[in-house]
């Protein structure tokens, strides 16, 4: 079972991806995480990616597609792509080297997204929080590490990221709908637990 996880920045892809990977035994492949690891490691890819990420733009397709192609050569089945594809070109390329069974689309209102991302705090273990629920805490409840704010989670970059999503990524909803592979979860103001309940209802039908 190979899944594409689709959703605007702040829709909760990272949170749901962690839970899905754990419950269904899927390998989680996040292009955003790959770029951030490259930036941290000071690689050539990292240097190139940083300028695009800081501007809220997409890293060029050739670079991104090559990275994913390389990953999928190692992980041939039972994976979940998080943050890829990000436009129709990438989706068409993906269809040339992978067989996607399902696109899980996490739909959230634009207004909520901005608020969520700007208050988001991350932990290196993969957990994420919102300042409104932290009561001043600065460490992760799960592993105790210090929380941090992603560099691109600031109001200026978030505006550009949402714009990029609406213009370039949202057409993928129609792309996968046409292929008969789309399952949309209307997350609205649901808690992550409630969203995961909906995710389970969809995935239990596919994964026995
Ligand atoms: P994410 O962690 O998925 O929000 O990604 C963070 C940033 O990495 C995005 O805003 C893009 O600049 C870049 N990025 C991640 N995935 C892709 C992709 N599939 N294509 C191009 N850029 C990407």
Burial class (CB in 10 A: 0-12, 13-18, 19+), 12: buried
**Looking at ligand 1, which residue's alpha carbon is closest to its atom 12?**
53
CB 127 within 8 A of CB 103: no
Kindly report the average pLDDT of the chain as a whole number: 95
pLDDT at 182 > cutoff 90: yes
Q: Which of 86, 59, 71 is nearest to 152 (CA)?
A: 59
pLDDT in the model for residue 179:
98
Known active-site residue 36: no
pLDDT at 208 over 70: no
Specify the ligand 1 atom closest to the Cα of 55. Answer: 12
Find the mean pLDDT for residues 191-196: 95
| Measured torsion, CA atoms of residues 123, 196, 160, 95, in degrees rounded to the nearest 10 | 110
Q: Is the CB of 165 under 6 A from ligand 1?
A: no
Ligand 1 atom with the smallest distance to the CA of 82 is 3
Predicted local distance difference test score (pLDDT) of residue 155: 87
pLDDT tens track for 134-158:
999 999 999 999 999 999 999 889 9
Q: Is the pLDDT of residue 110 over 90?
A: no
What pLDDT score does 207 carry?
A: 75
Q: Is the pTM of this model over 0.85?
A: yes
Percent of the chain with pLDDT over 70: 100
Cβ 50 under 6 angstroms from ligand 1: no
Query: Best mutation site among 59, 88, 122 for ligand 1, i.e. most ligand atoms within 8 A of its Cβ?
Result: 59
Which numbered atom of ligand 1 lies nearest the CA of 161?
Answer: 10
pLDDT in the model for residue 43: 97
């Amino acid at each position: 079972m190979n899944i594409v996880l689709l959703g605007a920045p702040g829709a909760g892809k990272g949170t749901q991806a962690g839970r899905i990977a754990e419950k269904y035994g899927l390998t989680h492949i996040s292009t955003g995480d790959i770029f951030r690891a490259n930036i941290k490691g000071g690689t050539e890819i990292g240097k190139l990616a940083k300028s695009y990420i800081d501007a809220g733009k997409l890293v060029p397709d050739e670079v991104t597609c090559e990275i994913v192609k390389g990953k999928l050569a190692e992980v041939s089945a039972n994976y979940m792509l998080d943050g890829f594809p990000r436009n129709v070109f990438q989706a068409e390329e993906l269809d040339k080297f992978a067989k996607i069974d399902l696109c899980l689309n996490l739909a959230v209102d634009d207004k909520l997204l901005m608020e969520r991302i700007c208050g988001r705090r991350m932990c290196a273990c993969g957990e994420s929080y919102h300042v409104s629920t932290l009561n001043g805490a600065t460490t992760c409840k799960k592993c105790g590490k210090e929380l941090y704010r992603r560099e691109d989670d600031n109001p200026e970059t978030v505006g550009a990221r949402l714009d990029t999503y609406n213009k370039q990524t949202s057409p993928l909803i129609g792309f996968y709908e046409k292929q008969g592979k789309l399952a949309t979860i209307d997350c609205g103001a649901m808690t992550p637990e409630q969203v995961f309940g909906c995710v389970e209802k969809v995935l239990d039908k596919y994964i026995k």
